[in-house]
Structure 1
Amino acid sequence: MEIITRRGPRHMELSEFHELRARYSSTLVDLGTGDGAWPRRFARDYANVLAIGVDSDRNALREAAKLAERKPARGGASNALYVAAQVEALPPELHSAADWTTIYFPWAALLKAILSGDEQLADILNAIAAPRSRLSIVLNGEAAPEGFQNPTPESVSRALKSTLEAAGFRVTRSAWLDARQAPATTWAGRLVKGSGRSMIALDAQR
C-alpha cells in the first residue's frame, strides 16, 4: 500500500505492515483523516497503539507526516502512519486491521453514505474492521449536504442500523455531544468549538 512520509510517498509491503502492527497492542484507523491531526494526537497519548490516518489528499498527508516524524518533544509520534487511499477502495493490506475505526466529521461522498445508510459503508467496514472491533462516527449536526435534512441521533441510528448489522456491528450509542466532548480533530475546532454547532456521535461494537 502507499504510505506518505515527510519525504513523500513510498510503498509498504504487507509483510512490513504486519511487522509494524506486531509492535503495538492495537490499531486505530481514521477514515477520511484530512490533515491527520487526530491520529497523531491519539498516537502521542497512546504509545502502545498504531494510529493510521487514511485519506486521498497526499499533500495534506505529507504535512501530517512531517509533524508526526518530529521528535516527541516537538509533538511527533512515531506510532502514527498515513496511508494514501480512497476510502471506497482501501488497500488489501488494511484488511481486518482496525481494532477501532473512526470517521470524524466526514464530508462529500462519505457523509452521504452515512446519512443514507449506503450499503457501500458495510463493504468498507467489512474490509477494514477486525473481529470484536469498535466504530465511532461523529457528525456535524448542522451541515447536511444538498438533498439531506440536518441529522439527529435518531435519524443517524435509523439510517445506519441495517448497514452496520450487515457488517457485524450493533449500535451502542447515538447521541448529541457538546463542544467539551468533541474529538481532538482540526475540524472539531473549526466547525464546532468556535461556533457552538451541534454534534452527533454514534458508537457501534462488532
Structure 2
Amino acid sequence: MKKWTYLVSGILIGAVVATSGSAAAAQIKSLIGQKVSAELTVVVNGKELPNKAPVINGVTNAPVRAISDALGADLQLEGKVINITTNETVPSVSNENTNSNQNSSSGSTTTNKYFGISEKTLLELKESIENNTLKPTIEGRNQILAEIETIKKIWDNPDLTKINKQLAEYDEIIKNAEEELRLVNEALEALGK
C-alpha cells in the first residue's frame, strides 16, 4: 500500500512541477518570436546611442545598458532585478517641501512632480513653457480677440460660437501652462534659486 501512495504522490508532484515549469517558460517566452513593429532612435543628452529601442506589441523597449552607460550610471544585474545607481544626489529638502505644497487659491495640498529634477532640466523646462506654450498661445488668443472686434464692427449679430470655443481652448492651455510654470518655479526655489 505504501508503494502505491509513494507512486501516486510522485506522479502528482511531477505533474505540478511540469505544469509550473511550462507556465514559467510561457512567461519567459512572452517576447520571443514577437514581431518588432518599429525601431526608435535613442538620444541621451543630445548624443545618439548606437542601440535602437524596439517597439514590440506597442511597447517601446529601451536599451537599459546603453542608456545607463550614457548617463554614467552603474548597472548591476542581481537575479531578476536590474539596479541602476548614479552619483547624482537629490537635494536635501524636508519631506513637507519635497512631497507636497500648499495651493494657496484652493487650500488643497498637491504633489509637485518637478521636485528632485536637476536645475538644468528645470530651467530648460521653464524656458520651453514660456516660449513654446505660453507666448504663442497668448499671441493667438490676442489675435482672436482682435478678430472678434473686427467682426463686431462689420456685422450686427455675428455668430461667435466657434471663435468663443477656440478662445476657451486657448484659455485652458494658458491655465495649464501657467500651473506647470508655477510648479517648475517652486521646484527651482527648493533648489535655492
TM-score, length-scaled by structure 2: 0.24
Structure number with the higher strand fraction is 1
Structure number with the higher helix fraction is 2
Relative contact order, higher structure (CA 8 A, sep 6+): 1
Larger Cα-atom Rg: 2
